[in-house]
Amino acid sequence: MNHIQGFSPAAASALEKIAEEVSVCMQCGTCAGSCPTAPAMDYTPRALMRLLQAGLFDEALHSRTIWMCTTCYSCTVRCPRDIHVTDILGKLRGIAIAEGYAETAGMTFNKAFLGIVRRYGRMFEPELLIRYHLRQEPLGIVGAAPIGLALLQKGKISPLPERLPAEGLAQIRRIFEAVEARRKAAPARPHPMHEVSR
């Protein structure tokens, strides 16, 4: 039985599951033709499905595509083979982060976002913006300032985070930990590409 090489067992397991789902992709391109950002992607969503079918996971995880997806689900609702393209791209983002792929803007955003949720149980936009800009474009914060100020004036940005009560926060932390533990413990599954089909 073949397993995907070169990834942590958790990632290999997740990729195997994804490969199984995309095995029925018929490369029709409906997803790409429906995607608002496909022209700006290096691989169209359809081409990305092809990478996954071909077992070229590393290319897929390096692609701009997974970070250019707006999660609009246009591809998913139209896919004639009922492949959940949007969700697959989301999972690939998670794998890229967990496997330590080079940090993209989207990755910084995701990490900062979930870090805040884990810390407070709720979103706190000012911190998100600061963390994002510190890593990605320090000067960008200047550009964002006028709108930030306007929103602050209208009371649409709160200066302080709203935290859940301690008990709730503990629950949130446990959720994150339990999910992470399960991700790591995911059992290796046979790679469908190498299985003899009946």
Partner 1 sequence: MNPLRYAYYPGCSLTTSAKEYDRSVRAVFDALGVELLEIEGWNCCGATPASQNELLMYALSGRNLAWAEARGLDVVAPCSECFKNLNKTAQAVRADPAVRAEVNAVLGDVSLTGKVRVKHPLEVLVRDVGLEEIRRRVTRPLAGLKIAPYYGCLITRPRNEFDSPENPTAMDDLMAALGAEVVDYFPYKTRCCGGALLLSNKRIALGMTRDLVIKAHQRGANSMALACPMCDMMLDPYQGPALRAGEKPLPTFYFTQLIGLALGIDPDQLGFADRVVSPREVLAALS
Partner 2 sequence: MTPTHESEKPRIGVFVCYCGSNIAATVDVEKVAEYAATLPNVVFTQTNKYTCSDPGQEEIRKAIIEHKLNRVVIAACSPRMHEVTWRRLLQGTGLNPYLLQVANIREHVSWVHQDRGEATQKAKELVAAAVERVPLHEPLEPRQVKIAPSTLIVGGGIAGIQAALDIANAGYHVYLVEKQPSIGGNMAKLDKTFPTLDCAMCILAPKMVDAGRHENITLFSYSEVESVEGHVGQFRVRIKRKPRYVKEDVCTGCGLCTQACVLKDRILSEFEMGMGKRGAAYIPFPQAVPLKAVIDPEHCLLLTRGKCSMKCIKACGPGAIDFKQQEEFIEIEVGTIILATGFELYDMSALPQYGYGRYDNVVDGLQFERLCNASGPTEGRIVTKDGRVPEAIAFLHCIGSRDENTNPYCSQLCCMHTLKLAHLAREKTPARIYEFYIDLRAGGKGYEEFYKRVQHEGIHFIRGKGSEVVQDGDKLIVRAEDTLLGKVVEVPVDMVVLALGMVPPKDIENIARIFNINRSRDGFFMEAHPKLRPAETNVEGVFLAGACQGPKDIPATVAHASAAAAQALSLMSRGQATIEPIIAEVIAEKCSACGECIVACPFKAIRMDEEARHAYVVSAMCKGCGTCAAACPSKAIKMAHFTDQQLIAEIEGILGRMSEYELA
Burial per residue of 30-68, b for 16 or more beta-carbon CB atoms within 10 angstroms, e otherwise: bbbebbeebeebebbbbbbbbbbbebebeebbbbebbbb
In the region spanning residues 79 to 138, those forming contacts with partner 2, defined by CB under 8 A, are: 79-82
**Locate tokens 């900062």: which residue?**
112
Token duo for residue 122: 């709720």
Site string for ligand SF4, 141-170 (x = CB under 6 A): ------------------------------
The only residue of 38, 60, 89, 116 in contact with partner 2, by rule CB under 8 A: 38
The dihedral sign for the CA sequence 24, 25, 27, 29:
positive
Per partner kind, with CB cut-offs from 5 to 8 A, the member of ligand SF4, partner 1, partner 2, none near residue 43 is partner 2
Please, are residues 8 and 17 in contact by the beta-carbon 8 Å criterion? no
DSSP 38: G
DSSP 99: T
Please state the closest distance from residue 183 (CB atom) to ligand SF4, in A.
23
Burial class (CB in 10 A: 0-12, 13-18, 19+), 120: middle
Please state the closest distance from residue 32 (CB atom) to ligand SF4, in A.
7
Q: Could you give the CA distance from residue 11 to residue 6 in angstroms, rounded to a whole number?
A: 9
How many degrees, rounded to 5, is the angle at CA 117 between CA 116 and CA 123?
Answer: 80
Should residue 44 be labelled a site residue for partner 1 when binding is judged by CB under 8 A? no
Should residue 185 be labelled a site residue for partner 1 when binding is judged by CB under 8 A? no
Please state the closest distance from residue 29 (CB atom) to partner 2, in A.
3
From 20-28, 47-55, 106-114, 190-198, give the range in contact with partner 1 by CB under 8 A: 106-114
Should residue 91 be labelled a site residue for partner 1 when binding is judged by CB under 8 A? yes
Which residues of this protein are in contact with ligand SF4, per CB under 6 A?
25-31, 34-37, 45-46, 49, 69-75, 79-81, 83, 85-86, 89
The residues of the shown chain that bind partner 1, judged by CB under 8 A, are: 36-37, 40, 67-74, 76-77, 84, 86-87, 90-91, 93-95, 97, 104-106, 109-110, 113-114, 117, 121-123, 125, 129, 132, 136, 147, 150-151, 154-158, 162, 164-165, 167-168, 171-172, 174-176, 178-179, 182-183
